[in-house]
A and B are shown apart, each in its own frame.
Chain A
Amino acid sequence: MTQNPYLWLIPTLPLAGAAINGFLGRRSSKRAVTTVALTFPGLSFVLALKIALGFSSAAAPYVFNLAHWIRSGSLGLPNFFTADFAFYLDQLSLVMLLVVTGVGFLIHIYSVGYMSDDPSYYRFFTYLNLFMFFMLTLILANNYLMMFVGWEGVGLASYLLIGFWFTKDSAASAGKKAFIVNRIGDFGFLIGLFLIIQHFGSLNFTDVFAKVEPLAAETSGAGLLTAIGILLMVGACGKSAQIPLYVWLPDAMEGPTPVSALIHAATMVTAGVYMVARSHVIFERAPIALTVVAVIGTLTALFAATIGITQTDIKKVLAYSTVSQLGYMFLACGAGAFSAGIFHLMTHAFFKGLLFLGAGSVIHAVGGEQDMRKMGGLKTYIPVTFSTMLIATLAISGIPPLAGFWSKDEILWKAYQASWVYWLIGAITALITSFYMFRLLFMTFWGDYKGIQVDDHGHAHSAHGDHGHGEPHESPMFMLVPLIILAVLSAVGGFVGIHHGFEHFLEPVFGSEFPKTITEASGNTEWVLMGISVLFAFAGLILAYVLYVSKPYLPEKIAASLNGFYDVVLNKYYVDEIYAKIFVKPLVDGSTKILWQGVDRKVIDDNVNSAADGARHVSDEVRHMQSGNVRSYAGWIASGAAAVIAYMIWWGMR
């Protein structure tokens, strides 16, 4: 354990940026806002790099206690409880730190180009910096409570940024939806934390895990650790958009595209994975909770991927893809392969961030249009965006040797060790992933441009209102440079996983105590499985090519022949409608009929009104006493005195 007094600066710097832009941004020039907005997260990134370069596994974890926060009970007694503003950096948080600051900084740069015409330019960067602050707090926290602060804070930033164009009704309600759905997850998370406090008396990671470690695994039945694990998973389901709480993420695409890239693809939504990985000590001792994690992850991966096939909004496809990929990460965690999950988290941050930024560049190019059916043939218009997106698509599809291949293969291999069912569903999902990603690529970049050539975009992209959109045009350098850097990372980012290098790096955190039966004999199986998943990836590619390039009339026929099932998938399995019927409508009706018209009007309002009426009636009667006639007052005084005297005499004679 090593002290590192610079740790607290990493989250605080973006907060300073948010404060400066938030308070002064309205009156500052755009140049000044840009400088502030880029400098502070940039400094965080530099600091993170510096720490990473000087990182030694022997000295880890690096810690720093900034200030006391909560102290209750008395020292030495069991009721003693502390939670401090303290930071904790080990291998796991270092990976997250680099991903968040690195990808975050790139997306900040990108946003300078993307948001350049928005009237609320300064507000955007205020929120973005604020998000960085909370996300880094979440990552670097040394206790669950501070993590929870970051957790809620990123939720707030997410809400603010989804509803960034709040004059648009759909954006405002998407923000609310995200917030409310996340609240449900947070409820589970909080109860999990209460259980931890109740039984372990602390929220510090090291203290809690030290107390959990000697406990036996709950193999025979569900116990305390299982309960905590499942409750934490409920929280993770909300933040990381897993079944049944994934519904907010696709709607969150109402936000500006860099927000979708940063918050709803690369960083915030992976917080749940990070939290589960961080709590691995608890999960490893709760096999039932692990199974829950794995099953939720697997189902979500498949479920979201199938929806992704039918979507036509370029960002919605990516949103469902994100949900699906997050499912992969949870599948890895559930199979006990936390390092594989974190590995995929990292590579996913690269290629999904890139895909969203590329999608933003495409949307920018065609003047705010998001419907892929109105795109097509863009590869000649925007070659840089096209080539970077091609790399990202290859990466997410799991085609070697790009980043996604390594991490996805690692997950599938670990899933296979847990159960072949996980592997099978995972592999099928990989096929679907490859298919819908190439579908996106082919629909957008191949064929002929189907968009409108005139300068007409009633779309809410006020950010681009000033451009003349004759033809699709390439984005400015501010947007292209991050694309290129992320493309490089998506291409080579997977190489850290060769020879389990990434896994070994994370071993001090996750340990090797969990059975990882990697033997020579199973080595062959690994190769076979790898071959199958690569085959699946290419199958998806070819299928997409056939359906969307060589025989573009086929998809409609297939859709028609599927009798209604296509419609069900197109409408996202009607999950939103079902939720609306089961949860939202009863709540709204109950609130309207019982709480509003019943309790609020009948009970509270009526009581208050009758009390006021009564007071007025009584006052009306009593008013006549105050005539303004001095002698009548004197009379009242005299009779009052007489009454008192009479009472006293009666008292004395009793």
Chain B
Amino acid sequence: MVPLSYYLVLSGILFACGVTGFLIKRNIIAIFMSIELMLNGVNLSFVAFAAHWHVLAGQIFVFFVMVVAAAEAAVGLAIIIAIYRTRETLNIDQVNLLKL
């Protein structure tokens, strides 16, 4: 049996990777992926706690997070495509104005 702390450390590393990627990446799609990474890092700690304490709530919460993440992906990618069509770039530093 793998101890709980292993899962949590891995979850923390995943989340930290996500945060770092979110902060340093310039490409919007890369930022998007970093967000997903953060979500999944959190998901991992959820299921780890759920298994450890034998409480189903954590697992069910993960399903919710996944559903939201899927919806987010759908909407977010649509927005990214729209941005690319108007600005012809995906560099986040060049998308700092709400209107052109």
Q: Determine if B46 is an interface residue (Cβ-Cβ < 8 Å).
A: no
Q: How far is the CB of A419 from chain B (nearest CB, A)?
A: 94
Q: How far is the CA of A630 from the CA of B93 in the complex (A)?
A: 8
A630's nearest neighbour on chain B, judged by CB, is: B92
Within 3-32 of B, Cβ neighbours of A (below 8 Å) are at 19, 22-23
**Contacting chain B: which of A531-539, A543-551, A631-639?**
A631-639
Q: Which of A630, A635, A638 lies in contact with B96, CB distance below 8 A?
A: A630
Taking a contact as CB atoms under 8 Å apart, the answer to whether B22 and A629 are in contact is: no
Q: How far is the CA of A236 from the CA of B85 in the complex (A)?
A: 88
Number of B interface residues at 8 Å Cβ cutoff, please give it. 8
Q: Determine if A628 is an interface residue (Cβ-Cβ < 8 Å).
A: yes
List B contacts of A628 (CB < 8 A): 96-97
Q: How far is the CA of A631 from the CA of B22 in the complex (A)?
A: 8
Q: How far is the CB of A104 from chain B (nearest CB, A)?
A: 73
Closest 3 CB pairs of A and B: A628-B96, A638-B19, A635-B23
Binary contact track A611-653/B, C-beta < 8 Å → 1, others 0: 0000000000000000011110011001000000000000000
Taking a contact as CB atoms under 8 Å apart, the answer to whether A634 and B23 are in contact is: yes
List A contacts of B22 (CB < 8 A): 631, 634, 638
Sample (17) of A-B pairs whose CB atoms are under 8 Å apart: A628-B96, A628-B97, A629-B93, A629-B96, A630-B92, A630-B95, A630-B96, A631-B22, A631-B23, A631-B92, A631-B93, A634-B22, A634-B23, A635-B23, A638-B19, A638-B22, A638-B23
A627's nearest neighbour on chain B, judged by CB, is: B96
Q: How far is the CB of A186 from chain B (nearest CB, A)?
A: 64
B98's nearest neighbour on chain A, judged by CB, is: A628
List A contacts of B92 (CB < 8 A): 630-631
For the A-B complex with A634-B23, A638-B23 known, give 14 more contacts whose Cβ atoms are closer than 8 Å: A628-B96, A628-B97, A629-B93, A629-B96, A630-B95, A630-B96, A631-B22, A631-B23, A631-B92, A631-B93, A634-B22, A635-B23, A638-B19, A638-B22
A632's nearest neighbour on chain B, judged by CB, is: B23
Q: How far is the CA of A635 from the CA of B25 in the complex (A)?
A: 12
Within 65-100 of B, Cβ neighbours of A (below 8 Å) are at 92-93, 95-97
List B contacts of A638 (CB < 8 A): 19, 22-23
List A contacts of B23 (CB < 8 A): 631, 634-635, 638
List B contacts of A635 (CB < 8 A): 23
List A contacts of B19 (CB < 8 A): 638
List B contacts of A631 (CB < 8 A): 22-23, 92-93
Q: How far is the CA of A22 from the CA of B25 in the complex (A)?
A: 76
Q: How far is the CA of A47 from the CA of B76 in the complex (A)?
A: 86
Q: How far is the CA of A351 from the CA of B93 in the complex (A)?
A: 95
A629's nearest neighbour on chain B, judged by CB, is: B96
Q: How far is the CA of A635 from the CA of B31 in the complex (A)?
A: 13
Q: How far is the CA of A550 from the CA of B84 in the complex (A)?
A: 115
Q: How far is the CB of A284 from chain B (nearest CB, A)?
A: 86
List B contacts of A629 (CB < 8 A): 93, 96
Q: How far is the CB of A366 from chain B (nearest CB, A)?
A: 80
List A contacts of B96 (CB < 8 A): 628-630
Q: How far is the CB of A236 from chain B (nearest CB, A)?
A: 74
List A contacts of B93 (CB < 8 A): 629, 631
Q: How far is the CA of A648 from the CA of B93 in the complex (A)?
A: 34
Q: How far is the CA of A347 from the CA of B15 in the complex (A)?
A: 102
Q: How far is the CA of A638 from the CA of B22 in the complex (A)?
A: 10
Q: How far is the CA of A81 from the CA of B19 in the complex (A)?
A: 72
Q: How far is the CB of B29 from chain A (nearest CB, A)?
A: 15
Q: How far is the CB of A369 from chain B (nearest CB, A)?
A: 77
Q: How far is the CA of A327 from the CA of B58 in the complex (A)?
A: 97
Q: How far is the CA of A589 from the CA of B95 in the complex (A)?
A: 64
Q: How far is the CA of A631 from the CA of B95 in the complex (A)?
A: 11
Q: How far is the CB of B19 from chain A (nearest CB, A)?
A: 5
Q: How far is the CA of A343 from the CA of B92 in the complex (A)?
A: 98
Q: How far is the CA of A629 from the CA of B23 in the complex (A)?
A: 11
Q: How far is the CA of A630 from the CA of B23 in the complex (A)?
A: 9
Q: How far is the CB of A640 from chain B (nearest CB, A)?
A: 12
Binary contact track A357-388/B, C-beta < 8 Å → 1, others 0: 00000000000000000000000000000000
Q: How far is the CB of B75 from chain A (nearest CB, A)?
A: 17
